[in-house]
């Protein structure tokens, strides 16, 4: 699916949300009317007050009488609403019980802001990013977060020194996730051999940032590369995917170094991506099996300088046993 198709699918989902909001509000109204029919009278009266006031203002040519009609409508409406709220609270219900409830109060589940011209709400943009870039190869954040991080497994599978260093890496990631965006360095690079928990920790950070209300894109290096390739060869909609990677407040790239190396695409577009994000001060979080020296050899000096800039990036080296196997390994480098 291209971006336009994702947008259409998401718009259909939002339409379903709005319909569900209305159904739930109607169900609450039926419940309330069964307990206190007078509430229905008050709701009908509220609509009648507004209608009668509009008719009166249309009949009057005198500006002062129009103002008086508007003021009477305001007073009568306030009193009617007061009585309605009293009856709801007498039933033990919240004063806003009959109002539609929305998952996003900014757009009222329409997906659009009230701006002129209208634009996509932040909630819609966030959902669009997830639809465009997440896929089945990426573990759910409900399973990979700090609450599910097992210190016991780390200690069981590693030497004491390795376990200490890996748990220190966890502490660094927790601190970053909790203090963002008030962090000295907005980028995070986790590197080391496969299975030591880099992806898990990266997902932990992203999950915590989402919990705190931030939005971003989580993507594998392979899918990132495909987005770059589409940008290189494609039309406007395909190019938009690469722009999303540049513009998203937080970009999480997993398994950097496993993507194909295509001439005029991989290095060039990765540099553009990192350079634009650095210039805008946006956070980029990366996990890779490659060492700093290997990153420099694979991507060249310009890309490596953006990846490993000590003034902007917290670099965490991780080493130890393959936690996916659940078995200790012999020896091991210090993390």
- The whole-number pLDDT of residue 332 equals 36
Closest to 201 in 3D by CA, of 131, 252, 161: 252
Q: Is domain 134-317 annotated with CATH 3.40.50.720?
A: no
- The whole-number pLDDT of residue 334 equals 31
For tokens 């996916």, what's the residue?
A: 324
The whole-model pTM stands at 0.66
Token code pair at residue 187: 């980028």
- The whole-number pLDDT of residue 330 equals 44
Q: Are 255 and 199 in contact (CB under 8 A)?
A: yes
Query: pLDDT by residue (tens digit) across 44-94?
Result: 998 899 888 888 888 888 888 888 888 989 999 999 999 999 999 999 999
Which helix (H) or strand (E) segment holds residue 190: the answer is strand 187-191
- Residue count (the chain): 335
Bridging pattern class, strands 313-317 and 250-256:
unpaired
Query: pLDDT by residue (tens digit) across 1-38?
Result: 667 777 888 899 999 999 999 999 999 999 999 999 99
Token code pair at residue 220: 């594998």
| CB-based burial label for 109 (10 Å; 0-12, 13-18, 19+) | buried
Residue-wise DSSP of 46-75: HHHHHHHHHHHHHH---HHHHHHHHHHHHH
Residue 21, Cβ neighbours under 10 Å: how many?
A: 17
- The whole-number pLDDT of residue 137 equals 47
Residue extents of the structural domains in the chain: 3-90, 134-317
For tokens 């590693």, what's the residue?
A: 158
- The whole-number pLDDT of residue 333 equals 33
How confident is the chain (335 residues) per 10-residue block, as mean pLDDT? 78 92 94 94 91 86 86 91 94 92 90 82 81 59 83 90 92 95 95 90 91 87 90 72 89 94 94 95 96 96 94 92 64 34
Per the omega criterion (within 30 degrees of 0), is the bond before 117 cis?
Answer: yes
Residue 81, Cβ neighbours under 10 Å: how many?
A: 15
Closest to 2 in 3D by CA, of 236, 183, 164, 161: 236
């Amino acid at each position: 699916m291209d971006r336009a198709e994702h947008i259409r699918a998401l718009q259909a989902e939002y339409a379903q949300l709005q319909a569900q909001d209305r159904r739930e509000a109607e169900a609450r109204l039926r419940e309330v009317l069964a307990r206190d029919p007078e509430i229905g009278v008050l709701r009908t009266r509220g609509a009648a007050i507004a209608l009668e006031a509009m008719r009166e203002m249309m009949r009057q040519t005198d500006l002062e009488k129009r103002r008086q009609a508007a003021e009477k409508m305001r007073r009568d409406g306030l009193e009617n609403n007061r009585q309605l709220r009293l009856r709801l609270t007498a039933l033990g219900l919240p004063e806003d019980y009959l109002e539609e409830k929305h998952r996003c109060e900014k757009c009222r589940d329409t997906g659009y802001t009230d701006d002129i011209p209208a634009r996509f709400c932040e909630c819609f943009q966030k959902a669009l990013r997830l639809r465009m870039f997440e896929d089945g190869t990426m573990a759910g954040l409900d399973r990979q977060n700090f609450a599910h991080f097992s210190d016991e497994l780390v200690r069981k599978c590693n030497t004491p020194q390795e376990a200490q260093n890996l748990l220190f890496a966890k502490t660094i990631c927790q601190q970053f996730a909790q203090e963002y965006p008030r962090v000295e360095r907005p980028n995070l690079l986790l590197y080391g051999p496969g299975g030591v928990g880099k992806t898990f920790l990266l997902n932990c950070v992203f999950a915590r940032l989402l919990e705190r209300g931030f939005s971003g894109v989580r993507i594998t290096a392979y899918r990132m590369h495909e987005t770059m390739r589409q940008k290189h060869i494609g039309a406007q909609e395909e190019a938009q995917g690469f722009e999303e990677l540049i513009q998203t407040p937080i970009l999480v790239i997993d398994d950097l170094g496993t993507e194909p190396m295509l001439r005029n695409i991989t290095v060039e577009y990765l540099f553009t991506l990192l350079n634009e994000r650095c210039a805008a001060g946006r956070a980029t979080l990366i996990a890779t099996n490659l060492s700093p020296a290997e990153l420099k050899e694979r991507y060249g000096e310009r890309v490596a300088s953006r990846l490993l800039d000590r003034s902007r990036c917290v670099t965490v080296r991780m080493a130890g046993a393959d936690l996916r196997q659940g078995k200790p390994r012999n020896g091991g480098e210090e993390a």
